[in-house]
Amino acid sequence: MVKSAPPPTTSRKPSKVEGLKEKSNFLREPVATQILEDTTHFTEDAVQILKFHGSYQQDNRDNRVKGQEKDYQFMLRTKNPGGLVPPQLYLALDKLADEYGNHTLRVTTRQGFQMHGILKKNLKAAIATIIKNLGSTLGACGDINRNVMAPPAPFKNRAEYQYAWEYAQNIADLLSPLTGAYYEIWLDGEKAISAQESPEVKAARERNGNGTIIHDTEEPLYGTYYMPRKFKVSVTVPGDNSIDLYSQDLTLVVITDAQGNLEGFNIFAGGGLGRTHNKEETFARLADPIGYVAKEDVYDAVKAIVATQRDYGDRTDRRHARLKYLINDWGVDKFCAKVEEYFGKPLEPFKPLPEFKYDDFLGWHEQGDGKLFLGISIENGRVKDEGSFQLRTALREIVEQFNLPIRLTPHQNLIIYEIDPENKQAIQEILNRCGVVSDPTTIDPLIRYAMACPALPTCGLAITESERAIPGILERIRVLLDKVGLQDEHFVVRMTGCPNGCARPYMAELGFVGSAPETYQVWLGGSPNQTRLAQPYVERLHHNDIESLLEPILVYFQKSRQPGESFGDFCDRVSFGAIREFAAQYQPQTTPVTIEAETETSQAASRPRKARYRVSLHDDLYAKLKSTATSQGRSMTDLVRDALEAYFQNQP
């Protein structure tokens, strides 16, 4: 993809948002005035500042009526460094979802919660409740450091994981805005109760560091204009890529000695996935290894990188404002030289690292101190009660009864930890009663490793469906895998309703990126461990044509893969040219198509498990089934089930 730089920014005017930040009196106005007004929504200028406070103004497009006002509502996002949600905060959020929200919570891909459907008149009460229950929304959105990510696994016997949690929290504190606007607006100036800040963090914030600090201002690190765009940070440990480290603006990797004592951190910088269709100057980019810093210097190094982006990031073109573009335009060497000016010393050479792997930490595990943790898969991050599936009820009962903390994962799941072994059976019984699966081996891997953004109807950037579409698309991919003889195969599928990449589709083995209504750009070739960028294979694919596109690719994969080779690695190895050549000559298979039916079977400990029974269809009948299901907007499985039930009801 073309990665050309725009004209020099020195001769161009700052973007409109830069002016709004300047006039906001450090994030106060016009939000402080308009929150008091009896209206259903904020002005566009206020919306830009509201983001810094953790909220997006949205319009539920499902409820639009021509000639009437938009169905205004607000999405509220929490900021949870390392994904930590104390029990008190979780129960408060669960209650708010019913009082003010749409009765669901949604785990984000940055280890926070989102709550949808809040009305403007309830926004202040909702934020105040979160603050008073040990939470925050400050900086969850806006041109600022976002939620600092860390591996969610609570391994108490692995010191590097504990260091990752500690420094994720400390860096979140270091980069938190200091303006009093947040508490003035949402708590009427009342001082919030918060955990004791590390003295090292406080001292590091006050050190000037060769220009990292702006004097005589309410925001000594950010200044009047804050950052040019969002700034994403993560902390991880060697080998653990549960946080998609290559997609971050800044990632620190914990380095310990043989005894597990902290020595310092490797630094990656310049990752980012947001892009714009038909704008080749925007692109997804992997982070580069920058260097190593000793533990006593890590906060000054972070400040130096933030200051470099703050002072040299593009403030004229918001599409070109992320750190990835600065590093891409300058090159790593020039970027490091500027960082070292702020840092006051050279960065040390990057330390060797093992290969990074992805793990979702689902299921029951020992956490290393005699207690247990449980990773629960949440499809697309949506915590809800629906029919016999009562996930919200289960989580509420478990947290209330056992007072357990939660860690949200970067894959939209959650981990309950600090579980006493004697409570395992009682917790398992709650999950079983509420229809919540705790054994990840019973989950179709296509679903287990997939992610989607919310998209329609509420996200204002969405071009097409994502969260509501992916279950049916995964089902169709599973049927297709069965058809071509890949019944046991799976790969990482991610989908977004627009090119901004919130579900990180550009790191997936198969990525769908919304490009028009019911139409997606298709990306192939990412790695199963999210260490390689995928590439665009098709610019516009209508969702009805997914099978015709994927079938020849999957057949080629089935015939030509190397032993143990993943789908993404295969696509990267053989090249798109070879894939297109095979697809052009491919003739659809005429063998019977297999449809799998699922039933619940009882197992030990009363755990329900899916049992599969296969029924074969020939191609002509399969084509009719697919066409009918598509025209009715239903899944093929539902259509077959209804037809069979109707047939047997009419039998004597």
Indicate which residue of 79, 110, 158, 232 is catalytic.
Answer: 232
β-pair type (382-383, 105-107): antiparallel
Closest by CA to 189, choosing from 28, 22, 39, is 28
Catalytic site residue 141? no
535: β partners: 524
Indicate which residue of 453, 483, 494, 504 is catalytic.
Answer: 453
Indicate which residue of 336, 434, 459, 571 is catalytic.
Answer: 459
| Nearest-angstrom CA–CA distance, 100 and 123 | 8
Q: DSSP labels for 103-145?
A: S-EEE-TTS-EEEEEE-HHHHHHHHHHHHHTT---TTSSSSSB
CA distances from 583 to 201, 511, 580 (A): 57, 19, 5
CA distances from 473 to 393, 433, 478, 480 (A): 28, 29, 9, 10
513: β partners: 496, 521
Side chain identity at residue 128, one-letter code? A
Indicate which residue of 141, 336, 434, 498 is catalytic.
Answer: 498
Structure tokens at 617: 């269809």
Catalytic site residue 392? no
Indicate which residue of 141, 336, 502, 571 is catalytic.
Answer: 502
CA distances from 39 to 34, 62, 100 (A): 8, 21, 17
Catalytic site residue 230? yes
Indicate which residue of 79, 146, 338, 382 is catalytic.
Answer: 146
Catalytic site residue 459? yes
Indicate which residue of 110, 205, 229, 230 is catalytic.
Answer: 230
Indicate which residue of 77, 285, 483, 626 is catalytic.
Answer: 77
Catalytic site residue 64? no
On whether the CB atoms of residues 252 and 150 are closer than 8 A, the answer is: no
β-pair type (451-452, 493-496): parallel
What DSSP character marks residue 41?
A: S
Catalytic site residue 498? yes
| Nearest-angstrom CA–CA distance, 253 and 170 | 15
β-pair type (55-59, 72-77): antiparallel
Active site (catalytic) residues: 77, 146, 230, 232, 453, 459, 498, 502
